[in-house]
Amino acid sequence: MSEPLRLTAADRVLVIAPHPDDESIACGGLLLVAREAGAVGFVVALTDGDNNPWPQRWIEKRWRIDAAARARWGARRRAEAQAALDLLGIAADAREFHGLPDAALTSLLMRDAEQLVAPLRARIAAFEPTHIAFPALADRHPDHSAAHIAVQLALLGGGRAVRRLEYQVHGIARPLTPHAVELSDSQRDIKRTAIACHRTQMALSGKRFLAYASSRETHDEAAVVLRDEHPLRARLRDDGVFELRVARQNRHGNDRVSILFGNASGTSSAWHLPLKPSQRCDVLDARSNHVVATAEWRGEADAWATELRLPVSVKPDVGFARLAKAQPGLVIFDRYGWQAIELGKRD
């Protein structure tokens, strides 16, 4: 059962949106309820949503989209977000657009996590939120799941307790969520109008996105937990050996496992290795592309498994592993995405 989310004038609500429109679709109700309670709201949009080719092709009646066209589209989407935030009561000085590469946050997270995490850490420290809303790890859009990990990394070592609320826009949400924001008819109308401000997204996804303007907006309590439905299991043992298991029945061709560890000091480590059953494969550093180890996938009754020993310098506070195609196709959404890594204690 869900319980109403109670806010007071002492609260400070920070919303992290991977793209312009996520703030309205997933958190429009939260921001409206915060405003009514006298709480302060702040919104961070990580990208301008400029790599959004199919709606752009449809609206602009063009096939080829070059850098200038993408920049123009991104400026249009940012302006739409500004109009929506006006309706949602977010002050002009409580909005931040980081302009990071759209549809590439996962690559950025693996290649240079601090470029994504450091601005979030700085905003959290400056704003001192009591509540932070950000995408769920299970969201099928890779920008959303990458944003989840970036926020979790940014919160490591924080001195203040922050209520972590997660939302899901893409994929099947959990049937039961612990927190609900109840909206009045007028608040529901405002949220609907705010969503509709994102006119570039209405042409192909309007019906689906406007459905989020219901009388109840739900959020899960965010935590680093295992996803039961995920075919990947990853564990760092106490002795420093890293174990990976991938269920056989869920494996598809051209799969790759990506590994990311982070700690409270702000350092992270990232690797890639292909899933090649019954073969040895190179483990590559995601930043330098250098070979750092080798691994051999062995067949078990219901899974493919491998082990590798991590450098002793890797002492993570949190870890995530991703199962996805090495080269994405036309469909951007993840089939599986990220899984939390079980961490043992290391001396």
Q: Within 11-160, where are the H helices?
A: 22-37, 53-60, 67-87, 105-111, 113-127, 142-155
Q: Which DSSP symbol is given to 6?
A: P
The residues with which 20 forms a beta bridge, in sequence order, are none
Calculate ∠ Cα 306-111-237, nearest 5°. Answer: 30
Residue 162's closest CA among 150, 173, 170, 154? 154
Burial of 325 (0-12, 13-18, 19+ CB in 10 A): middle
State the pLDDT at residue 346: 56
d(CA 1, CA 179): 9
Domains along the sequence of the chain with CATH: 3-221 (3.40.50.10320), 232-343 (2.60.40)
Structure tokens at 194: 């705010």
What global pTM score does this model have? 0.95
**HEC profile for 201-265?**
HHHHHHHHHHCCCCCEEEEEECCCCCCCCCCEEEEECCCCEEEEEEEHHHCCCCEEEEEEEECCC
Q: What is the pLDDT of residue 298?
A: 92
Write down the pLDDT at residue 2: 72
Rounded distance between C-alpha atoms, residue 34 and residue 246, angstroms: 42
* pLDDT averages per 10-residue partition of the chain, 347 residues: 87 98 98 98 98 96 96 98 98 98 96 96 97 96 97 89 94 76 97 98 96 94 88 92 87 82 90 90 94 92 90 84 82 91 78
The pLDDT value given to residue 17 = 98
Question: Tokens for 123?
Answer: 């905003």
